[in-house]
Amino acid sequence: MKRFTTLACGTVLSFASVAPAFAQSSVTLYGVLDNGFVYQSSSGSNNSAIRAVPGGLFATRFGFKGSEDIGGGLHVNFQLEQAFSGQTGAATNPADAFNRLAFVGLSGGFGEVRFGLQNSPSYDVLQAAMDPSWVKSIASPMNNFNALIIRANNGISYYTPTFGGLNAKFMVALRDPTTGGGNGIGFYNVVLQYINGPLNVAAGYERGDEPGVGAGGSYTIAGGAAAGPGAVLTVFNAGASYGIGANRIWLAYHTENLTNTPNYMQHDVYQISDSYQFAPDILASLMYGYLYDRTGKGNNAQQLGLLFEYYLSKSTELYTAAGFIQNRNQAKYTLSGTAYSGLPITPGTDTRGIGFGLVHKF
């Protein structure tokens, strides 16, 4: 491949005066390393621990992305991405060469299309409008309370151009024998987003039929429950934020319904957040979320979270994330990092935690 690229580049240089429109391509290696430690405890039991954890704020990963200009305003794009533990170096899923992203697509004046394993638009785009952490870390109620289909195999997506600040993202994922669902559509997601100056508003709806989508063919549900065969997950998310100088206010709403699962079948989550840029290298965010159990069982919960970020450079930051969850009745929501699970707790008990980490992006 390197040899072919060298020859191609030489050909382009040799005949530039005759055919200046030859295609040009580039490939970039990138990654994120996030390591730290966390302390968590719960009331009413001796369940407490301090642990070294990877991915408290960002999932540790590396990847390759590239683009080829094929002329006429068209580009061929691809991206390959693998998650791994920064604590042990082990791949998150050793059976897959690239377990997060593996897609190819086209972009141009019409927008962009992608084919393959990819993030859902709700995860990739909408969460940035929902809270200052982008729904990450133990500080985010939306991260700890919500179910969401993060990515899907066999995805086909279309991202529209932006018109007057408005754009849309669409995605479907097809079943195949490896996911156990036969054929047809196993997942679909649509997101609308409007950005105008300091205002960012987005909303999205998704529906997934288990086991037709997602890595491993199953959903991981907040609170420790998991969807079994035949389950259907439907989710609606909406978020908005508005910046006033160094301050930004966030509002978010999430509602979900999961069939064929004994617990956490129906709930709504409301969240309000505030972030303040104290200095170019210091950002602090406060988040409050309330979960309402729509099953009538009273399994409600609420959380207060705090995230403090200190940027050592454009590529490196130190962070502290803290959270406190108050569970009611049989609710058992816990504090989970972006890439690790929280401690299991006794239903109806409170849990608290604080974590510290170092992030480097390359």
- How confident is residue 148, by pLDDT bands cut at 50, 70 and 90? confident
Please tell me the distance from the alpha carbon of residue 290 to that of residue 174, in angstroms, as a whole number: 35
| Three-state SS at 24 | strand
The total of other beta-carbon atoms located within 10 Å of residue 252's CB is 27
pLDDT of 13 reads 35
Please tell me the distance from the alpha carbon of residue 239 to that of residue 193, in angstroms, as a whole number: 10
pLDDT of 314 reads 96
Average pLDDT, the chain: 87
Are 275 and 247 spatial neighbours (Cβ–Cβ below 8 Å)? Answer: yes
Q: Which residue has the higher pLDDT, 229 or 269?
A: 269
Vertex 92: Cα angle to 86 and 95 (nearest 5)? 140
Q: Which domains does the chain have, with CATH numbers?
A: 41-59+124-361 (2.40.160.10)
The partner residues of 33 in beta bridges, in order of sequence, read: 360
The residue ranges of DSSP E strands in 259-332, in sequence order, are: 266-279, 282-293, 301-311, 316-327
Cβ-in-10-Å burial (0-12, 13-18, 19+) of 10 comes to: exposed
pLDDT of 16 reads 39
Please tell me the distance from the alpha carbon of residue 173 to that of residue 157, in angstroms, as a whole number: 9
pLDDT in tens, 161-213: 999 999 999 999 988 766 555 678 889 999 999 999 999 999 999 998 865 43
% of residues, the chain, pLDDT over 70: 84
pLDDT in tens, 13-31: 343 344 444 567 899 999 9
% of residues, the chain, pLDDT over 90: 72
The residue ranges of DSSP E strands in the chain, in sequence order, are: 24-42, 48-54, 61-71, 74-83, 101-108, 111-119, 151-159, 166-174, 185-196, 199-209, 232-244, 247-258, 266-279, 282-293, 301-311, 316-327, 351-361
pLDDT in tens, 80-116: 999 999 999 999 888 889 999 999 999 999 999 999 9
CA distances to 139, 324, 354 from 39, rounded to whole Å, are 13, 12, 5
pLDDT in tens, 224-247: 455 566 678 899 999 999 999 999
Please tell me the distance from the alpha carbon of residue 228 to that of residue 232, in angstroms, as a whole number: 9
Vertex 144: Cα angle to 220 and 276 (nearest 5)? 140
Q: Average pLDDT in the 344-350 region?
A: 92
Please tell me the distance from the alpha carbon of residue 191 to that of residue 206, in angstroms, as a whole number: 9
pLDDT of 226 reads 56
Please tell me the distance from the alpha carbon of residue 63 to that of residue 362, in angstroms, as a whole number: 10
pLDDT in tens, 24-55: 789 999 999 999 999 999 886 678 999 999 99
Name the pTM for this structure.
0.87
Q: How far apart are the first and last CA of the chain?
A: 24
| Three-state SS at 216 | helix
Q: Which residue has the higher pLDDT, 132 or 8?
A: 132
Please check the confidence at residue 326 and state whether its pLDDT lies above 60: yes
pLDDT of 93 reads 85
Of 215-219, 314-318, 333-337, the least confident: 215-219
pLDDT of 181 reads 57
Are 319 and 310 spatial neighbours (Cβ–Cβ below 8 Å)? Answer: yes
Among candidate residues 303, 225, 211, 228, the one with its CA nearest the CA of residue 266: 225
Cβ-in-10-Å burial (0-12, 13-18, 19+) of 279 comes to: exposed
The residue type found at 73 is G
pLDDT of 256 reads 93
Q: Average pLDDT in the 156-165 region?
A: 97
| Three-state SS at 103 | strand
The residue type found at 35 is N
Are 151 and 123 spatial neighbours (Cβ–Cβ below 8 Å)? Answer: yes
